[in-house]
Structures are given as C-alpha cells and as structure tokens.
Amino acid sequence: MNFKYPVYSPYLNGREKALVLDCLESTWISSKGKYVGQFEDTFASWLGVQRALTVSNGTVALHVALAALGIGPGDEVLVPTLTYIASANAVKYTGAEVVFVDSERDYWQLDIEDAERKITSKTKAIMVVHLYGQATDMDAVMALAKKHSLYVIEDCAEALGTRYRGRPVGTIGDVGCFSFFGNKTITTGEGGMVVSNNHEIADKVMHLKGQGVCREREYWHDAIGFNYRMTNLCAAIGCAQMESIDDLIAKKLQIAQWYREGLAGVPVHMHQTNPDTFHSFWMVSILVEEASERDALRAELGLASIETRPLFYPVHQMEMYSSPGSSFPVADDLSRRGINLPSYPALSRDDVAYICGHIRDYFAEQKTVLEPQMESKL
C-alpha cells in the first residue's frame, strides 16, 4: 500500500545525483575511489572522533566491531532486548552468546541495574542501543564497564546527532556503529560506519573489513576477514548527505516539537528526552495508555493514508532467541503500547497537524463510544 504519509522517506535534495554521476564517470564504482576516504574524513571531523571507517551496512558495522574486540565463542554480550534484531544477530555471528537486558521505563534505554544483575564471569561487553534517537545513560554504562572490565559497543544506528552531556554518542564507548539505510537520518542506500578513538581497534576493523589482507605483502591474507567494504557509489551519496546533516537534524527536532504541540492533551505519551541528552528524534514515537488501543489506532491512521510502525518486538520474543523463564516486563509493555509516527524530514507543519488531527479524532470518537457504556453501568 502506498501511503500519503509514509513512516520514513529519504531526503535527497542536495548534490547526490551530481556526485554519483561524477563517480560513474570516473569508473571507480566499487570500494576504491575518492569518495570513500572523503566520506570517512568528513564524518570523523563532524562527529569529533579520531577514526571513522565505512562498511557496507549497519549490521556488519556491529559484527566487525565485535570481531575487532576479540568477542567470540564462550563470551557473553549484554544487549537490550528492546532493539532491532541486528543488534543481537551481530553478537551471534561471532559465536558469542546474547544476554538480554530489560529497558528502563522513562526513556526506553538499557536498564543499568538489570544489566549488572546479568553480568557473569563470561561477560565481555555491553552493547548499548541509543533507541529511536534517545541516548542511554553513558556515565552509568561506562562506570559499570570499568567496574567489570567490559568493552562498550554503542549501536548508534538510530542516533546520528544524539549527544550525551554534550558528547556525541558513538564516541564515548570503545567503538560506535552507525547505519545509513534508506530510513536513517542520512543515507547511502545501504551503508554503515564504525568509529573509535582507539587506533588499535580502528586498525583491526580496517584489517577485518577488507578480507584480512596483509599490509606488507600484496594479495596475501593473514586473517580470516570479511568483505564489508562500502562502495564508492554509496560513499558519494554519503558525501552529499553530509553537506545537509545539520539542517536535517534541526528539521527532525522541529518535527518532534510540532508533534508535541499537536498531541498536547491527547491520551498518548511521547518519547521523553532525558535532561542530560540531546534527543535527535530519528523516529517520533508515542505510547498509548492501553495495549488494546495500539492496533486500532494504527488501523484508523492507515485508513487516512498515514503509515505507522509498532515499536520493535523485544528480541527475546523471537523463536530463535526465546528464553523461557526470563522476565522483561518493561520492554514487553513498551513494545505492546508503542507506535512510530511519520518522521521524515520533508514533513511540513500542516502535514504533522493532519496526522495529529486524526490521532485526536480517534480518541474523541472512542470517548463518545465509551461514555454511554459507562453511564449504563452506573
């Protein structure tokens, strides 16, 4: 179904076409060419990090980061269960075990107390996921990691531009990973980036993402690596997107504010912003008060050509990750009540007003239906 208001649509109104055509004319369309290095350098400078390395997508960014840290069979990695499945899959690719952690209720991020309860002698790392553009409490995460000698991987797929106490996410832990899929704040179609201030880790990522090729001997490989390189074509799009990144993030914040104003007084709860953070609002997300209302509201919005998404299903609910007897009450509750609203940068104030109007109308109609029923019971 084609929606008038999709959940997301990439914003390609800059020099994307011109740089891609330049790339085609140069014939450097694979993983070599000037735009790969240019994109890495521009991204690193903008983020304020020592090293930024392009990869082919956000999932492999997580995988190669974990591999560079030496995570493997016999190890355990703490991962919030309320996340996109790629966070958990990347851990399994290494042969390590995923240990799921519940969410904290206010901001939907990893629950630090639950994380500490899950640490064992096998735990080697914590993967934090800055969900929907909000930041995890990184002071608490880094203190916990230091206490137990753990690596910290930041999954920033949804958090480009997010800051924690003034510091960009992705630059606080040992390594940060970004996604540039078509629905992300900036896109390369498919693509990702691994960033780190640790040159040893960055060198390992560089080595592994390019088939483990030896630096000193041509066409000789001294490790089992991966073919995770970004193409020059994708990097050209990334370079054009970086020219608009600050404007895109500013527009996302404006859209979030329009939603906040438009939903005032409506019985929904918008994703909150921790006072210590700068929430980049990759997605504008709301919670309905009762889980039973979620799908009915989504259906009504769909009839008005407004696309929505449910919050992620907690990964522990998936058959291949099911853990009988485990309890994740907050993540389960948030998932059942949560909705992602259209959040793409081209939305106008009138567009957001139209969407909010339909949400408001839905609850007004529900109130009209329920009031006679309540009166009949009195």
Which residue numbers are catalytic? 184
Angle made by CA atoms 89, 94, 100, in degrees to the nearest 5: 45
Q: Which residue has tokens 């960014």?
A: 61
User: Rounded distance, CA 277 to CA 268, Å?
Assistant: 22
Sign of the CA dihedral running 102, 107, 109, 113: negative
Contacts of residue 216, Cβ cutoff 8 Å, sequence gap at least 6: none
145 three-class SS:
helix
CB 80 within 8 Å of CB 131: yes
**Cross-strand pairs, 209:** none
Q: How far is CA 295 from the centre of its chain?
A: 23
Say if residues 180 and 162 touch (Cβ distance below 8 Å). Answer: no
* Contacts of residue 36, Cβ cutoff 8 Å, sequence gap at least 6: 54, 230, 232, 235
Strand ranges, E, within the chain: 51-55, 76-80, 97-101, 123-129, 151-155, 163-164, 167-168, 175-179, 192-196, 268-270, 277-278, 284-288, 309-310, 338-341
Which is nearest to 275 in space by CA: 170, 171, 164? 164
